[in-house]
Structure 1
């Protein structure tokens, strides 16, 4: 015989299943509706859009975050072309790139202020983060131009650069088959590259290559130092050092 507590658990499980199926406008709204909702894949419907999106919601005390990038190993290659970066790839419950179209669809709502959070783990057990207020991605006509506002964190403001001329704020997105990096040739030390993707690997908001690039080749702990490609955040590990894990998430106010 079911007790009232059993019935409550069943009702709560049903409510969670509805949230995961129908969700809300974003992960923050889901978190507000159900503070105990676990992290996982949910269906959301951004304001002003008929399109529903499947996203991974990272539920934290600070609210519900939409994971737009995760790297933790080499199983999912990030050396992809423009079409795949536009639509997204990988597994939402593992390493993935959500997709530039989806990022634009989410952040174009001017009634919301979005925060970008970048979490980084090194091969020695260390951790750092960077947060940017007023995160937005332009449409494809702007090459999905990056916009970030005020920075806070302990990883350093790598998107604006570890050195003069490395500011990636306002840069368009580049892939191996779509070059928007604003340098030709691109000079790194005494080495010249035709494109930043030739040096770093995966697609990113390159501007003179810059000092942040988290979609390059993943490298193991055997030798994380000195790679031209890799998961780079040079205001944190300036060697260049390739991070072990990266995660990019966005949250609306």
Structure 2
């Protein structure tokens, strides 16, 4: 007669043999923490890489790239470094995410909302920028969060600090993107009705800026447009723009990274 332990092991093996591949993979996905900040706090020597997280109130865990720095663990939700991955995507793709977590990607508005909706935590948004001449700059915002999908994932940022300038609030008056919903080519939530630039009238910012972003009168910040290589990165309406840092006519950046940390 088999022992109870052997019987339980055989029963488990039988059950697993009858499950589908998707169920096995789901069973194998075990949360490593609620967010990258918490993972770093528990394991100070944790290295940067892909981790599985499950924010409070979220039913299914999901993978993110954690940038582990001396000041804590940061959850990366946007990375640009070339033109291999197109960011000209529709609403559903920006909501759900696309790309490769270890390379260029957009994590997804749904996941960023899931992270930031818990008001028990406050979040810092950090935006890292690289130009084509070897220069770097950053912008950091306190009290970052996104609104619900029904409110078009409205952007909320607090106090700014950094070296890149506060492009979200605008290089000039009337360009404040804070408090606006996300727009894509098939879902217009910008502040244009229409926007007026000199003698040019424009109804949708995605028409010239492309990609998806929190547009307001189009604005001074837009990091999801077309990527342009060195020597071909000046003068494009669509590009990776942060006009409080690179105000020349307009300048498309070489690389960007957006990430958040809980405090």
* TM-score above 0.5, yes or no: yes
Q: Indicate whether 1:163 and 2:164 are aligned.
A: no
Q: How does 1:230-241 map to 2 (within 5 A)?
A: 230-239=239-248, 240-241=250-251
Q: In the alignment, which of 98, 101, 105 is matched to residue 110 of structure 2?
A: 101
**Whole-angstrom CA distance in 1 between matches of 2:44 and 2:134:** 30
Query: How far off is 1:244 after superposition?
Result: 0.2
Structure 2, unpaired ranges of 5+: 1-28
In structure 2, the residue matched to 1:247 is 257
In structure 2, the residue matched to 1:138 is 147
Query: How far off is 1:187 after superposition?
Result: 2.4
Q: Indicate whether 1:118 and 2:161 are aligned.
A: no
SS of 1:84's partner is helix
**Whole-angstrom CA distance in 1 between matches of 2:128 and 2:172:** 21
Q: In terms of mean alpha carbon deviation, does 190-199 or 83-92 score higher?
A: 190-199
**Whole-angstrom CA distance in 2 between matches of 1:100 and 1:26:** 16
State the Cα deviation string for residues 135-177 of structure 1 (Å, max 9, x = none). 0001111110000001000100000010000000000000000
State the Cα deviation string for residues 213-234 of structure 1 (Å, max 9, x = none). 0000000002211111000000
Larger radius of gyration: 2
Q: Indicate whether 1:178 and 2:187 are aligned.
A: yes
In structure 1, the residue matched to 2:81 is 72
Give the TM-score taking structure 2 as reference length: 0.87
**Moved runs in structure 1, 4+ residues, more than 6 A?**
none
SS of 2:150's partner is helix
SS of 2:191's partner is coil
Residues 126 and 258 in structure 2, CA contact (< 8 A), matched pair in contact too: yes
Residues 21 and 42 in structure 1, CA contact (< 8 A), matched pair in contact too: no
In structure 1, the residue matched to 2:61 is 52
Residues 232 and 241 in structure 1, CA contact (< 8 A), matched pair in contact too: yes
Structure 1, unpaired ranges of 5+: 1-19
Query: How far off is 1:184 after superposition?
Result: 2.5
